[in-house]
Amino acid sequence: MNYRKEHDSMGEVLVPEDALYGAQTARSVENFPIGRAHEQMPTEIIRAFGVLKAAAAAVNARLLPARMTEKKRDAILCAADELLAGKLDGHFPLVVFQTGSGTQSNMNVNEVLASRANVLLGEALLHPNDDVNMSQSSNDTFPTAMHIAAALSVTGALLPALDALIGAFLTLEKENEGVVKCGRTHLQDATPIAFSQEISGWRASLEADREMIKSALSPLYALALGGTAVGTGLNAPAGFDVLVAEEIAKRTGLPFVTADNKFSALTSKNALVFAHGALKALAADLFKIANDVRLLASGPRLGIGEILIPENEPGSSIMPGKVNPTQCEAVTMVAAQVMGNDATVGFAASQGHFELNVFMPVIAYNFLQSCRLLSEVMDSFRTRCVAGIRPNRAKMKENLERSLMLVTALSPHIGYENAARVAHYAHEKDVSLREATLALGYLDGERFDALFHPEEMI
């Protein structure tokens, strides 16, 4: 590989000849060989930086036209457009486990945009610090990029996937109205329930999660940009924070605003903790729903077997014909990962001292991974499992008729203790509830038949 010499405030550094980045990025590549194969800075953060840098250039051109000329501004905007289109993706090699402020990733973006803008201009006009980073600090740009990336990921990917899954359950609910089955509590037989009612519980849980996630978006819309190094706004012109937030809002279509208190915005990551908590709530419900589905589909002959799910692939390398609930397993593994990510996000947000949190890259990495995995697994679960769920009506009817808890319908007429005796007698003698009730003399056949209607118990 051929190299060129670049310099920064610490001296000269060798940089790959065809790289758009410069000395500070190269130093980070050398100093942090940690997770390079798999834990690179998320693309969502790089894209968020592209939005941020374009917005800053536009506002600086309005407030500081002598320094940010129209020529410089337009070149930065063109380079940022290329970044957002993915044309510069090969020039962001940095890993998550770098400086906790994300300084090197901010400089990586500054260097790439300055270099690319200079190529477009055909002259070395722009400087990464003086121009692309004008009115900014890594300390306010990285938390701003985190909020932009998080909000875009939630609104652009996660909520649409969640809405589609809710819609699939609503369709399934309507298709199964009137189908009565045995309810279960504590993994034991309980009173009857309509299958549509059971599905409605899944659907309503996801709808509640959706509202929680939406409520968690509001704190993410507050941006640290304009606080610069420690929250005072040093080296940023008056009004920059408000105008740049408006510019970011215009470019993203989301209602971003400047944070009321920049000192808090730089050091507290509570908005991301709160939002990830809502993601964890969704993960918990998805875990529960996926478990319900795989238990109801268990068997197919020796388990509950009350629903049929799509058979997507062979389930065993040794047992011919075996098919497993693999989509449910994928959902529960993603949920486990999200719950682990939540612990990391919460702990990392508690760290850093005085005016800056210094665990920001790992917070961003875990938050965005949770968003991405939840979005993708919900789409997969919907198309490859939920859309193909069908009731096994014969098995539902068989299990319902054998349920001892149907005796609950008799309790108001023969009393709780007598109803309990009927249930125990039927279980011990392996007879029906009707036979047990008549054998114990609590009701005659005509009266039992008049009172006993499982389909009316829902």
Mark whether 316 is an active-site residue: yes
Task: Say if residues 79 and 117 touch (Cβ distance below 8 Å).
Answer: yes
Mark whether 7 is an active-site residue: no
456 band by pLDDT with thresholds 50, 70 and 90: confident
Residues 111-150 have pLDDT tens digits of: 999 999 999 999 999 999 999 999 999 999 999 999 999 9
Structure tokens at 336: 């486990």
What's residue 454's pLDDT?
Answer: 85
CA distance 420 to 407: 8
Pairing relation of β-strands 222-223 and 257-258? parallel
Among 33, 9, 150, 51, CA closest to 93: 33
Least confident of 66-80, 281-295, 333-347, 410-424: 410-424
What's the predicted TM-score (pTM) here? 0.95
Residues 32-44 have pLDDT tens digits of: 999 998 999 999 9
Catalytic pick among 7, 215, 316, 424:
316
Domains of the chain: 3-134 (1.10.275.10), 145-223+262-394 (1.20.200.10), 403-456 (1.10.40.30)
List of long-range contacts for 82-86, beta carbons under 8 Å, 24+ apart:
82/116, 83/46, 83/47, 83/49, 83/50, 83/109, 83/112, 83/113, 83/116, 84/47, 84/50, 84/51, 84/54
What's residue 8's pLDDT?
Answer: 86
In this structure, the chain runs to a length of 458
Catalytic pick among 9, 38, 186, 317:
186
